[in-house]
Each structure stands twice: as structure tokens, then as C-alpha cells.
A and B are shown apart, each in its own frame.
Chain A
Amino acid sequence: MKIKSAFIHGLAGAVALLWLFPYAWMAFTSFKSSAEISLRPTALLPSAPGLGAYRAVFSQVPVGRYMLITLWVATAIALIQIALALPAGYALAKLRFRGNGLAFGLVLACLLIPTQMTFVPIFLMFSKLRLVNSLTSLILPFGASALGTFMVRQALLSVPNEVIEAARLDGASEFTIVYRVLAPMLKPTLIAVFLVSFVFHYNDYFWPLVMTTDDSVRTLPLGIALLREPGTGVEWNVVMAGNVILSLPMIALFSISQRYLILGLTKR
């Protein structure tokens, strides 16, 4: 039994290594100097750890500005999605009206439509409106989330009608009921919706790539990808430093909110 247990622990360790070693390699590389990368590219640890690569990233890419734009876009999208999903989910889950089934069907249909399907027409629409390279083009198309609406509706189904009736008797408006009474009850669901959306849009490469043609609202994943100009000699220590800057916020967020993220993925 002891041997078996040791074997399983060891096997798990090998698995961990397969996932953690690439991160470690990224971090080690980022602390090496350009000279060391070309002389001893596969040495594990940097011989003279330094921040030169990070300085190079900051001088080649306006990291602060890109980061701010990225955080702004991801936060705005996640918050708007929640603000809109709450009343929509409430109407779908709790209110009897003509067209409820149709509206719900429309939300479900949108779950099946990927952005890769819609980007050509939306790009053409935005370029006609001169909205390419604007925050609007990055945020507005994701203002309503079919998935978020669906998750809020599902969560509200298990909230008893009596809660809403009691609030109505107390004279609360529907607006108050949605945002002040029900929203706090759905906290885990809302946090999950926020996180899944925030992580997705922070990391998103495809949409900003398509909707931006210049530097005005470029996001961080685009900026970091640009560090590697294909063809000319790539400075891998600089690229990896950019990678660390790009991934660190997500890894930090992940380590404090893993529980909610998992909830957001499994409660669908």
C-alpha cells in the first residue's frame, strides 16, 4: 500500500512538473541577459539574474497604457454584462409574459454563435461608423452575454417567489428588487460570471486584433505578441519578460479566486 501511495504521489509530481516547468522556464529566461541567451540558451538558471529584459519590455511597449486599456475593457465588459443579465435573467426566470419562451430561445441561440462567426460583419459595420480603433468596438459587442444571462436565469429559478412577493409588499420597485434584493442573493453566481468574463476579455487576442489597426486602444496581449517580430532575431528574454507581465495578473487572480472560477465553469 505504501509503495502504491508513493507511486501515485510521484506520478502527480511528474504531472505538476509538466505544467509548472514551462512557467519556471519562462520566469528564468526573463531574468537572463541577452548575451546569456545567445551564449548559453539552455542553461537552467540565469548566471547573473537581472531586470534588463523587463526594462527592454517597458521601453519597447507602453506597458502601463496597454495594461490600463486592457483592465478597463475587461472590467467594463464584465460589469455591463452583469448589470444587463440581472434584469433579463429575472424577467426570463420569474415573469409570465407573452414572448418569454421566444426571448429565452434567442438567448440560447446566441450561446451557439461564436465571435469568429460575427467578426466580419461587425468589423465592416464599425468601419462604416468610423468606430474601428475605439473602446466602443472593444466593449459594446460584448455588453450582453448570452451565457451570463443564462446563468443568472438558472440561479434565479431556485430563488423562491415568496422573496419577490415579500419585497413587492414592502413597496420595493422592480428595479430595487433586481439590484438590491436579488443581486446579493446571487453573489456566488455573479462573481463567477464576472470572473469568467473578465479572464476571457483580459486574455482575448482575436477581437482586439481585428478591431484595432493602430496604437490608440491596443490591448496588452497584442502588445506582448508584437514583441516577437517574426524574422529578425527574437530576444527571447524580452519576450518572456513580457509574458510574465501579461500572465502574472491572471495567475494572481486565479490563486485568490479559483473556487469561483471553477463554479463559473461547472455551473452551466
Chain B
Amino acid sequence: MMRPRKWIDPTWMLAPTLILLVVFFIAPVGIAIYQSLFSWDLLTPPKPVGGANYIALLKSGELFWVTGRTLLFSAMVVSGAMSLGLSLALLLNRRGLWFSFVRSAVFSAYVVSWVAVALLWLWILDPDRGIVAKALHLAGVGSVKLLNHPDTVLPVLAGVTVWKITGYAMIMFLTGLQAIPNEVVEAARLDGAGALSRFRFIIWPMLRPTATFVGTTSLVISFQAFDVVRVMTQGGPVRASTLFVYAIYESIFMNLRVGTASALTVVFFVVLLSLSWLQIRMWRQKA
């Protein structure tokens, strides 16, 4: 740390950043909390209603179902992306052009837009003309409308999300693996530790911080899922894929209910923060 030359220096250096962050991040959180206490349809003046928006969301079961659905979706995405990302990192952590090519192939999905990925899988899964339908037909399963069935839509959306973000998890795990000193693993090998016990007792404990980080970020990504829902299902069938952010979007832009949208936003934020906090604590305790 050094002394600023002039007392004003830190001010001009930080002011633009801090002002923008306050206006576009901090203040909106406060405004959302405030607006959640009003009933407002954007046309007539807002009416203060206290906690009525929250109570209505609770009573209708909307809050419970949206939260439950999103948690289920997140659980599928986080477990899928982490286990697949870790397996691929272990498989592809090898020298040579071939492995570097495969790593790039997997990671590339992470930089392609969600819209492109969603449209692509919509076409692959098209119930009439898609290749998955054709393959299932050839296998004798008959016509399966994976995206049109309330039981299968969420796992399918989770699968597409896993396909998109596994490359990210893999890259993080690869970085973690490469930070493990080779001598340690070699020493264990010389001591007669098999591949499984090397992983269990040496590699995995050293990967734990990486795993916590990947777990938290993929939790945040999956909890914020919107694009796949909006492009692939519009929340349907019968709201079976209406995830949290889509529910917020729907309540303001389709139903013009600012109060409800704000109340949902507040709950969304609280749940997201407590989940991240819980996950970090859980992983710390185990370590």
C-alpha cells in the first residue's frame, strides 16, 4: 500500500466504478425489496399491500413449486456437470495433440451462445423430424415427446445445460489437477497405491477447493437458467419447466405484476445466497 499523491486521487479512480455498481447493482436490490411490498400493474398507481405479495405466492403454492422445480433442476445440473467434468478432466489430462483437441471440443460449447445451443438441441430433439426421435423409433421405443412431457422436460433441459457447461467444469478441474505436484502422485504409486486409492486419498483431497468452486459456480449458473427455458419450452408443458427466472420474467412481462415479480426476485436472491453459503460451508466441514 502506498500513500495517494493527492487526497482526491482515490476518489476519481473509484467514483465511476462505484457509482455504476451502486446504481445498477446495489440500489436495484433495495428497490426490488421495496417494490415487493406494493401491488402495481404498471398502468395504475402502485398500492402498498405489505406482505400480501409474499402471502399470495405462498398460498397459491407458486413459490413452493417454482423453488422446488428450480432446486431439482439445479441438483441435476450441478451433479451432472461436476461428475462429468471431473471424469473428463481425469480422462483428458494427458499430453498430445489428440487430447488437446478433445479438450477444446468439449470446452467450445461453453463459448457458444445459449440461444444457439438451445435451438440446436430443439432440432435434435424434434419429436417429428429430429434424429433422437428417429433413433428411438429404430430402437423400437416409439414416439417419445421428451420436451412435451411434464416428467421428462426438466431432465432434458438439465441435460442440455450440462452439455453446455461441462467444458467449464472440466477446465477448472484440469487446472486443479495440474496444480498437484507429480512427485506426490508418483510417490504414492511407488508405495503401491492403485489408481483408485491414489484418487481417493491424494488427488480428490487436493481437488476439493476446486470442486467447491465449480459446485458453487455451476449452482449459480443453473439457478439463473433462463435462455434454455425461454427458447425450448416457454415454461411448459403445464408450467413443468417454469424455473425461477422465467417465473419472474413471466410475472412482469406477461402478467404486468411488478409486486409479484419483485417478491419472487427477493426470494430468488435469498435462496441463491443461502444455497451458495450452505454449499461452501458443507464442503469446508468435510475437508
Please report A residues at the B interface, Cβ cutoff 8 Å: 8-9, 11-13, 15-16, 19-20, 22-23, 25-26, 29, 37-38, 41-42, 84-85, 87-88, 90-92, 94-97, 99-100, 103, 106-107, 109-110, 112-114, 116-118, 120-124, 140-144, 146, 149, 161, 164-165, 168, 174, 178, 199, 202-203, 205-206, 209-210, 221, 224-225, 228, 230, 236, 239-240, 242-243, 246-247, 250-251, 253-255, 258, 261-262, 265-266
Contacts and interface: CB of A to CB of B under 8 A. Distances in A.
Contacts of A19: 105-106, 108-109, 163, 167
A107 B4 contact: no
Contact of A228 (B122, B171, B172): B122
B92 A12 contact: yes
B56 interface: no
Interface string B42-61: 00000000000000000000
* Size class of the contact patch on chain B: 35 or more
A8 B13 contact: no
B278 interface: no
Nearest to A257: B111
Contacts of A107: 17, 21
B237 to A, nearest CB: 13
Contacts of B13: 87-88, 90-91, 95, 174, 178
Contacts of B120: 22-23, 25-26, 240, 243
A124 B31 CA distance: 10
B80 to A, nearest CB: 13
A9 B113 CA distance: 29
Contacts of B167: 19
Given A113-B25, A174-B5, A210-B249, A205 B115 contact: yes
B75 interface: no
Nearest to A11: B91
Given A95-B10, A146-B21, A247 B113 contact: yes
A85 B20 CA distance: 12
Interface of B: 1-5, 7, 9-10, 12-14, 16-22, 24-29, 31-32, 35, 88, 91-92, 94, 98-99, 101-102, 104-109, 111-116, 119-124, 126, 128-131, 134, 163, 167-168, 171-172, 175, 220, 224, 226-227, 230-231, 234, 245, 248-249, 252-253, 258, 261-262, 265, 268-269, 272-273, 276
